[in-house]
Structure 1
Amino acid sequence: MKKRPDGMWRARYRDATGRERARHFARKADAERWLAAQATSIARGDWVDPAKARVTVEEWSKVWLATKAHLRPRTQEKYESALRVWVVPRWGRVALADITHADLVRWIAEIHTGRSPAHTRHTLIVMSQMLKLAVRDGRLARNVADGVAKPRLTRPVPRFLTNEQVARLAGEMPEPYDLMVVLLAFTGLRFGEAAGLQVGDVDLARGRVTVNWSVTELARGGLHRDAPKTHRRRAVPIPAFLVARLRAYVKGKPDDAPLFTASKGGPLRNSNFRHYFFDPAVQRAGLAPLTPHNLRDTAASLAVASGANVKAVQRMLGHASASMTLDVYSGLFDAELDDVAVRMNAAATEALGEWGKSDGRVTEADTG
């Protein structure tokens, strides 16, 4: 460290690569503090090149987005939307090094007003992932998005139809969408999975529908055909009455033909299906509000009511795990738990004899 003729203090050090770095300060104490901070960062191994940290968020967002090219188009669209609508307008010209934790906390609080928790969480995740990549690339010492509280998600309340209500809804649908509604309600397929079915996916001899593909409608208007959501193809059992209906419906059709199409042919789109057929039928049947996804809820409900356990429901719905099924439909299994308690009580009473008998009354002594 040296004092220049102009009175400024020149502080110098060599960075982790051996390159000399220097800054000028009006006060010697400031220069000493800066040198000490650089030495500590180098010793800890978290020193970053100040020039690399000066890249703007907009510039870095393009680098980060390029690393997501392997994801599904619909997922990429959501990332692009979050960047275009929320991240770049606020942070585009800001250098990575200038973003603080407090800034992000305030920003998330601001954009959460009037937005759903899911959208706000997604925007924060995008920002956090961008900063995480910057840390790994040696542009930042730490991710200042760590610890920013995410809004709590509110899971949509499932809607369950009875067998009679399914029949009423199907009765308001034109052919062949009446068949599709019943298929969704008794197999738990997602709409995109049903739209991706081909005739050859229906095994009438075994009474199975094999989910090989799912069709996703993109925001920019296109359709994307890909593996199911969990990337796991699955075979779903179908009731005998549906087998008979499907046999008549697919007769004479080639295996590679779509099982369901738009009314004038071509791919089936969720938006058009809802607007022209599903939503009007729901209104006529007096079942509003109802979405095609609620038919998936219905399938879970009907399966549990018929005696299916959580593992069977998981396999039918194509959930990644049984815990996920329980997270979404835990209430459906309450009766099953009651049955377990009844069976355990019967077995224990028989084994314990007189000691296990009780008049069923709870006293203060029982509760302590």
Structure 2
Amino acid sequence: MWLATHPSWAESTRARNRSVLDNHVLPVWGKVPLSRVTFEGVQGWVSDLQRAGLAAATVRKVAGVLSSVLRYAVKSKRLVVNPAEGISLPSQKLTPRRYLDARQVEGLAEAAGEHGRDVVLVLAYCGLRIGELSALRARNVLLLRRRLTIEESVTEVNGRLAWSSPKDHQRRSVPFPSFLAESLARRVDGLDKEDLVFGSPQGGVLRVRNMRRGWFDAAAEDAGLTGLTPHELRHTAASMAVSAGASVLALQRMLGHEKPSVTLDVYSDLFDEDLDTVADRLTDARSRILADSVRTGEVATFPQMRATGP
């Protein structure tokens, strides 16, 4: 019933949650009456998962699925409270996010060869998700406006392709730099409007696992970027956009996040330099006031600061 109440889930999300249920939740809780699910029992189960060696991120995901099922039970009046509410979860170790600079992107594009060069550059300078790039059709490339319209995404789920709207259902228009115009024009030349722009070398849909196995991982190693993932090129696009002066709102629209707050949560580190810029501008503003006062002979007065305690 819980699965059926989320019709907007992407097929990949549904498959992932179904897998969590089948492999972790139902073997333990499937035959337990709701009235016998207790806070202590859920907390002990979470601790058992951690002791069994599951990564902290996996434990948090598994516990989140059970909690969501129990939350549905509360909404449907089968439980008064959610017994998984407030349980202690293992801390997730945060790994530093990797951002490439323009020189590293060029090195990776060169190592990717003729077929992979455009893929690398579009991912690194436009911030598309790999599923969005794979689903890009000729009609989505607006050469005169220098825009890519993102309307679809494609993901491999259990060996087959699942087509959907973009994540968070955020259809959007993404600008591409002028240096990509010529290569994109060559790619769409002669294509029907529904043809895919970035297909596999064999002519099918570009699948991320095949792409990594076929050329991406080798190109990353050749470029001195061992372990790089295609999704890290999306992070790189965010970094370069902020360096070029993009605001949080502009970055949100480019990346297709649901809200600017999501963008700021994910990429808050990219805006740290903005704090220094604000401080510098405040210093400049005060200096201008003082300079104007000296030039005009006026005395600039400022309220005296009073000590109000430690």
- TM-score, normalised by the number of residues in structure 1: 0.75
Tell me if structure 1 keeps the 8 A contact 2:112–2:216: yes
1:334 matched to 2:248: no
Match of 1:284 in 2: 222
Structure 2 CA distance for aligned equivalents of residues 249 and 140 of structure 1 = 57
**1:69: Cα distance to partner?**
4.5
1:150 matched to 2:89: yes
Match of 2:141 in 1: 202
Structure of higher CA gyration radius: 1
Match of 1:271 in 2: 209
Q: Percent identity?
A: 41
Match of 1:140 in 2: 79
Match of 2:200 in 1: 262
**1:99: Cα distance to partner?**
1.8
SS in 1 for 2:239: helix
Tell me if structure 1 keeps the 8 A contact 2:126–2:174: yes
Structure 2 CA distance for aligned equivalents of residues 283 and 326 of structure 1 = 31
Alignment of 1:1-368 (within 5 A): 63-113=1-51, 114-218=53-157, 220-352=158-290, 353=293
Structure 1 portions without partners, runs of 5+: 1-62, 358-364
Deviation by residue 1:151-171 (Cα, 9 ceiling, x = unmatched): 334444221111111111111
Structure 1 CA distance for aligned equivalents of residues 263 and 8 of structure 2 = 27
- Structure 1, 324-333 or 76-85: larger mean CA deviation: 324-333
Tell me if structure 2 keeps the 8 A contact 1:207–1:237: yes
SS in 2 for 1:176: helix
Match of 2:304 in 1: none
**1:92: Cα distance to partner?**
2.3
Letter in 2 for 1:148: I
- Structure 1, 145-154 or 254-263: larger mean CA deviation: 145-154
Letter in 1 for 2:150: V
Structure 2 CA distance for aligned equivalents of residues 71 and 230 of structure 1 = 9
Deviation by residue 1:270-291 (Cα, 9 ceiling, x = unmatched): 1111111100111111111211
* Equivalent residues, number: 296
Letter in 1 for 2:85: D
**1:235: Cα distance to partner?**
0.8
Tell me if structure 2 keeps the 8 A contact 1:166–1:182: yes
Structure 2 portions without partners, runs of 5+: 302-306
**1:211: Cα distance to partner?**
0.7
**1:250: Cα distance to partner?**
1.7
SS in 1 for 2:149: strand
SS in 2 for 1:258: coil
Tell me if structure 2 keeps the 8 A contact 1:69–1:76: no
Structure 2 CA distance for aligned equivalents of residues 149 and 356 of structure 1 = 56
Q: 1:347 to 1:252 in 2, by over 3 A?
A: same
**1:138: Cα distance to partner?**
3.5
Tell me if structure 1 keeps the 8 A contact 2:187–2:197: no
Tell me if structure 1 keeps the 8 A contact 2:98–2:232: yes
Q: 1:134 to 1:311 in 2, by over 3 A?
A: closer
Deviation by residue 1:186-229 (Cα, 9 ceiling, x = unmatched): 001111110110011111101111111111111x1111111110
Deviation by residue 1:14-73 (Cα, 9 ceiling, x = unmatched): xxxxxxxxxxxxxxxxxxxxxxxxxxxxxxxxxxxxxxxxxxxxxxxxx33333354221
SS in 2 for 1:174: helix
Match of 1:18 in 2: none
SS in 2 for 1:210: strand
Higher relative contact order (CA 8 A, sep 6+): 2
Tell me if structure 2 keeps the 8 A contact 1:348–1:356: no
Structure 2 CA distance for aligned equivalents of residues 137 and 267 of structure 1 = 42
- TM-score, normalised by the number of residues in structure 2: 0.89
Structure 2 CA distance for aligned equivalents of residues 306 and 95 of structure 1 = 57
Measured on the aligned residues, the alpha-carbon RMSD in Å equals 2.1
**1:124: Cα distance to partner?**
1.5
**1:81: Cα distance to partner?**
1.0
Tell me if structure 2 keeps the 8 A contact 1:260–1:268: yes
- Structure 1, 235-244 or 323-332: larger mean CA deviation: 323-332
Structure 1 CA distance for aligned equivalents of residues 270 and 74 of structure 2 = 45
SS in 2 for 1:216: strand
Letter in 1 for 2:30: G
**1:356: Cα distance to partner?**
7.7
